A and B are shown apart, each in its own frame.
Chain A
Amino acid sequence: MEETLLKIREVRKRFGGVYAVNGVNLDVKKGGICGLVGPNGSGKTTLFNTILGLHKPDQGTIHFNNNCINNLAPHQIYKLGLGNAFQIPRLFFQMSVLDNMLVAVRGHQGDKLANSLFLREKWQEQEKGMVEEALSILELVELDKLAFSPAGELSGGQRKLLEVARGLMAGSSLLLLDEPAAGINPVLGKSIFQKLRDLSRNGTTFFVVEHRLEILFEFASWIYVMDKGKTVAQGEPQQIVKEPAFYEAYLGEG
């Protein structure tokens, strides 16, 4: 039996009178790439933000690695090993590309006030390995030449790539990616997914929202379909295309 990494039960999130997420149940199993698809406004991003702790769910429970994370702050959830890349890049624009990557590091010794002053030798040494890791990820998304440029000077697509790269940086056990291939050229988009698959074999699990179904269905092992705030269908990519609910959600056919 595969282990469930993320377990969501009856989660609801309301904004004013509208339920953006209205009773979602899903399980993300350890390993592989799990996809989440659905039309615009079906609540995918709200669900992600609720998992991340940026919104508190009104109802329901979210378990990550058998810990209930409903009432944890985003930074605590991150420290448990749940990382993410935002749909619209939220970069630190005046900081260099490399610094953007290094902010994401978990457990950097020098990130504590006293250590930053008194344990300089220790974290300086620790940081060398992190810089190497960051550069190898940046190479993958073809940003390594721009490592010392401010993130604000990147083009729209490059910002998206950096956002994804920053998500990959931290060695999360579960990474939520909101449209990682949107606005990126097809070849690079595909190579990102190939990299995700390689990483998933080393134990990282990915939960991915993506509208480019041809890429997603090639790499994902399980797909959830959301519509009007609910999960309406699930299955392997080959099966899901045969589901009427999938067509109904995407094409509005009765």
Chain B
Amino acid sequence: MDPLLYVFDVVVYVGIFGMLALSLNLEFGFTGLANFGKVAFFLIGAYTYGLLSQIGIPFYVCLIAGASISAAFGFLISLPALRLRADYLAIVVLTFGEILRLIVKNEDWIAGGDWGISVSRAISLAGASPRVNALVNIGLVYLCLGICFFVLQLLANSPYGRTMRAIREDEIAAEALGKDRAKYKAQVFMLGSAVAGVAGGLYAQYLQCVLPGMFMPMVTFTVWMMVLLGGPANNKGVLLGAVLVEIFDRGANIAKDYLTLPVDPANLQYILFGVLIILVLFYRPQGLLKESPVTTKALELVRNDRSAVKSNGKQ
């Protein structure tokens, strides 16, 4: 395989999974909602894109539709989220992802069952080389990633972001301080799912197909790994996590061809993943980058004043 194309492929994957990591960070990192069914919303986005693009709908409409339908399911999932403790919610959402995957796998009429359906590229240039096509994909994916990152950064550094963190820390106290936690949780799930839906659409058009096998629970755990490693409640951190986990994943994938192991080398990735999660949680529970505090203009003013007073005091 063309080595440059392989690098491009890694870059696209980092972009798509970076979006998933951002969306999980919004839910788990900032709001404390343990969404172990991220892959479900990824799947909804991908299948929506695949089915709509087959009937000739332009790609941006497909992406928006994927985001909207995914957000609608996100709202449904937020309903039990109010009544369940974090660990039970995790089980419910995990199951939801598996149910969706088994439905599209077994119901051939939806999207070809196990065989899936083929999806056309979002932007196809006539006669373009694979490298050019990959570059076009990189442009599209990183444009979407950039928009998501920008919006989520605005959200994190606002009173809304402050409320999300308050709900994560103590939802009863937040409720007693006038925060309608049902509303906030629903909004966060919808927004997070919308981002995952866009990522799913981009994934489908990049791979030019949708298959149930693309949406195994492992996808969810990979995204969790990115968030935990990079640093929950830090958007830059989880993007760093996405880069590192993707490189780690690919590295293990290549390395297994050159190693003799007492176990099936195909499992090497998963073993190393497990070890890495345990190490991170033991030795660096806050992730590589620490949580970024809420930053607003008013807070910055006070902070600057204080450091000015401090430096004057020293003189």
Most buried by A among B174, B177, B191, B293: B177
A111 to B167, CA, bound (A): 13
Query: Do B166 and A92 touch across chains, with their CB atoms under 8 A apart?
Result: yes
Residues on the A chain within 8 Å of B301, using CB: 128, 131
Residues on the A chain within 8 Å of B161, using CB: 116
A215 to B176, CA, bound (A): 27
Minimum CB–CB distance from A154 to chain B (whole Å) comes to 14
Is chain A's interface secondary structure helix, strand, loop, or mixed overall? helix
A78 to B151, CA, bound (A): 30
Binds B, one of A18-26, A94-102, A201-209: A94-102
Check A86 for interface membership: any CB of B closer than 8 A: yes
Minimum CB–CB distance from B69 to chain A (whole Å) comes to 19
Most buried by B among A75, A78, A117: A75
Query: Do B173 and A86 touch across chains, with their CB atoms under 8 A apart?
Result: yes
Contact residue among A92, A95, A135, A166 (Cβ-Cβ distance under 8 Å from B302): A135
A130 to B298, CA, bound (A): 9
Check A250 for interface membership: any CB of B closer than 8 A: no
Minimum CB–CB distance from B268 to chain A (whole Å) comes to 36
Query: Do B303 and A117 touch across chains, with their CB atoms under 8 A apart?
Result: no
A170 to B306, CA, bound (A): 24
Check A237 for interface membership: any CB of B closer than 8 A: no
Residues on the A chain within 8 Å of B181, using CB: 75
Residues on the B chain within 8 Å of A148, using CB: 293, 303, 306
Residues on the B chain within 8 Å of A195, using CB: none
Check A140 for interface membership: any CB of B closer than 8 A: no
B155-183 toward A: CB 8 Å interface, digit per residue (1/0)? 10011111101100110111111111100
Query: Do B162 and A102 touch across chains, with their CB atoms under 8 A apart?
Result: yes
Minimum CB–CB distance from A171 to chain B (whole Å) comes to 12
Is chain B's interface secondary structure helix, strand, loop, or mixed overall? helix
Residues on the A chain within 8 Å of B159, using CB: 102, 105, 108-111, 116, 123, 127
Query: Do A103 and B154 touch across chains, with their CB atoms under 8 A apart?
Result: no
Query: Do B160 and A95 touch across chains, with their CB atoms under 8 A apart?
Result: no
Interface residue tally for chain B (C-beta within 8 Å): 36
A112 to B155, CA, bound (A): 10
Minimum CB–CB distance from B176 to chain A (whole Å) comes to 5
Asked if A127 meets B297 with Cβ closer than 8 Å, knowing A54-B172, A110-B158, A116-B158, the reply is: yes
Most buried by B among A92, A104, A123: A92
Query: Do A103 and B163 touch across chains, with their CB atoms under 8 A apart?
Result: yes
A104 to B296, CA, bound (A): 16
A139 to B244, CA, bound (A): 44
Residues on the A chain within 8 Å of B303, using CB: 148
Asked if A96 meets B154 with Cβ closer than 8 Å, knowing A116-B161, A124-B298, the reply is: no
Interface residue tally for chain A (C-beta within 8 Å): 44
Query: Do A120 and B154 touch across chains, with their CB atoms under 8 A apart?
Result: yes
Check B291 for interface membership: any CB of A closer than 8 A: yes
Asked if A78 meets B160 with Cβ closer than 8 Å, knowing A86-B173, A128-B301, the reply is: no
Query: Do B176 and A74 touch across chains, with their CB atoms under 8 A apart?
Result: yes
A224 to B195, CA, bound (A): 54
Minimum CB–CB distance from A31 to chain B (whole Å) comes to 23
Chain B residues within CB distance 8 Å of chain A: 151, 154-155, 158-163, 165-166, 169-170, 172-181, 187, 191, 291, 293-294, 296-299, 301-303, 306
27 contacts between A and B (CB under 8 A): A73-B175, A75-B175, A75-B179, A75-B181, A90-B173, A90-B176, A91-B173, A92-B166, A92-B173, A93-B169, A95-B162, A95-B169, A95-B293, A96-B294, A103-B163, A104-B178, A110-B159, A113-B155, A116-B154, A117-B154, A120-B158, A123-B158, A130-B298, A131-B298, A131-B301, A147-B302, A148-B303
Chain A residues within CB distance 8 Å of chain B: 52, 54, 73-75, 78-79, 84, 86, 90-96, 98-99, 102-106, 108-113, 115-117, 120, 123-124, 127-128, 130-131, 135, 147-148, 166, 170
**What would 19 more interface pairs be, CB under 8 Å, given A92-B166, A94-B169, A111-B159?**
A74-B175, A74-B176, A79-B178, A86-B173, A86-B176, A92-B170, A94-B165, A94-B291, A95-B293, A98-B299, A99-B165, A102-B159, A110-B160, A111-B160, A111-B162, A117-B154, A123-B158, A123-B159, A127-B159
